[in-house]
């Protein structure tokens, strides 16, 4: 009888077995709560097996995002693509696309050709430079957002069931996948080429997509029974993170202006006098 009690119940495929790994799916026999070291401990190995779990993760994040990430956090991990690799892959693709195609789609000179004042015209090179800086560091921006969203979502929805690292893992998957969805819509922007209206439409649609997807994922992950409760708490989490991002971005913009090329600004305002 004691031999039967030693059977291990696989968290991934529900198989019962003896040993350190499930013979059916390869899942580890024991898993523990996620801590910071766990996010990066298998990163190098995950690069070696790049294709492992990618299609499965794409499918799960498209059909049941919150449930699949909750299962990952609880130990059902063998089939999933590593969350940090998921971010780096999608963030890298997004960065490349934005850098290579943004100027073609949104030429700042054409979009703001009706600007009259010298001061406004003088600011355009700085706006363009700031946008390029943002696009070139897009993955880092995602990582920073993930840390903030992870913190506020756990505080507002977690109810002490999850720790901050588990919230970060949730958003490594969720924000990365929402970026992928927005990339799939990117070709439609060619119909709005060099349009200031198109610029705002693109921003609004991207924000709505991210918000709806996060509400869906949050409701599943945190097992919120009320849709309205999930909507309210998700919006509160987004708003709290957005305030922090706005404050830090403001300081960053101020620093950016201090190290910018002031000579070109002065010349533009004074017509070179």
Burial of residue 227, with CB atoms counted within 10 A of its CB: 0-12 exposed, 13-18 middle, 19 or more buried: exposed
- Cβ–Cβ under 8 Å, residues 79 and 12: yes
Give residue 121's pLDDT: 55
Say which residue, 145 or 198, is predicted with more confidence: 145
Say which residue, 270 or 216, is predicted with more confidence: 216
Q: How far apart are CA 171 and CA 187, in angstroms?
A: 25
Query: Residue 1: pLDDT above 50?
Result: no
In terms of Cα–Cα distance, which of 196, 221, 240, 173 is closest to 70? 221
- Cβ–Cβ under 8 Å, residues 179 and 26: no
Say which residue, 191 or 63, is predicted with more confidence: 63
Mean pLDDT, residues 173-185 = 89
List residues bridging with 16 in a β-sheet. 9
Q: How far apart are CA 120 and CA 113, in angstroms?
A: 11
Lowest mean pLDDT among 24-38, 184-198, 253-267: 253-267
- Cβ–Cβ under 8 Å, residues 137 and 47: no
pTM of the model: 0.71
Give residue 190's pLDDT: 67
User: DSSP labels for 183-229?
Assistant: HHHGGGGGGGTT-HHHHHHHHHHHHHHHHHHHHHHHHHHTT-S-HHH
Mean pLDDT, residues 80-89 = 88
What is the phi-psi region of residue 27: left when phi exceeds 0, alpha when psi lies from -120 to 50, beta otherwise? beta
Give residue 106's pLDDT: 60
Secondary structure element (H or E) that encloses residue 17, with its range: strand 16-17
List residues bridging with 9 in a β-sheet. 16
Inter-CA distances, 109 with 86, 106, 165, 197, 265, Å: 35, 9, 43, 15, 16
Question: What's the pLDDT tens digit per position in 26-78?
Answer: 787 777 777 777 666 666 555 555 556 888 999 999 999 999 999 999 988 88
Most confident listed range (3-17, 150-164, 217-231): 217-231
């Amino acid at each position: 009888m004691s031999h039967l009690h030693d059977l291990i119940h696989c968290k991934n495929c529900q198989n019962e077995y003896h040993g350190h790994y499930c013979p059916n799916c390869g899942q580890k026999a024991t898993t523990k709560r996620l801590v910071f070291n766990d996010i990066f401990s298998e990163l190098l190995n995950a690069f070696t097996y790049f294709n492992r779990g990618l299609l499965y993760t794409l499918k799960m994040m498209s059909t049941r995002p919150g449930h699949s990430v909750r299962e990952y956090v609880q130990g059902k991990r063998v089939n999933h693509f590593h969350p940090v690799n998921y971010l780096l892959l999608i963030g890298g693709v997004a960065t490349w696309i934005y850098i290579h195609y943004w100027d073609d789609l949104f030429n700042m000179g054409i979009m703001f050709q009706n600007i009259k004042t010298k001061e406004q015209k003088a600011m355009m090179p700085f706006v363009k430079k700031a946008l390029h800086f943002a696009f070139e560091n897009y993955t880092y921006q995602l990582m920073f957002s993930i840390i903030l969203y992870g913190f506020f979502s756990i505080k507002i929805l977690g109810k002490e069931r999850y720790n901050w690292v588990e919230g970060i893992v949730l958003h490594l998957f969720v924000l990365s996948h929402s970026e992928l969805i927005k990339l799939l819509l990117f070709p439609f922007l060619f119909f709005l080429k060099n349009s200031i209206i198109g610029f705002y439409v693109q921003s609004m649609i991207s924000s709505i997509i991210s918000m709806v997807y996060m509400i869906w994922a949050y409701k599943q992950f945190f097992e919120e029974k009320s849709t309205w409760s999930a909507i309210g708490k998700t919006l509160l989490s987004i708003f709290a993170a957005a305030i922090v991002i706005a404050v830090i971005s403001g300081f960053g913009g101020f620093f950016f202006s201090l190290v910018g090329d002031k000579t070109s600004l002065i010349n533009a305002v004074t017509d070179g006098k």
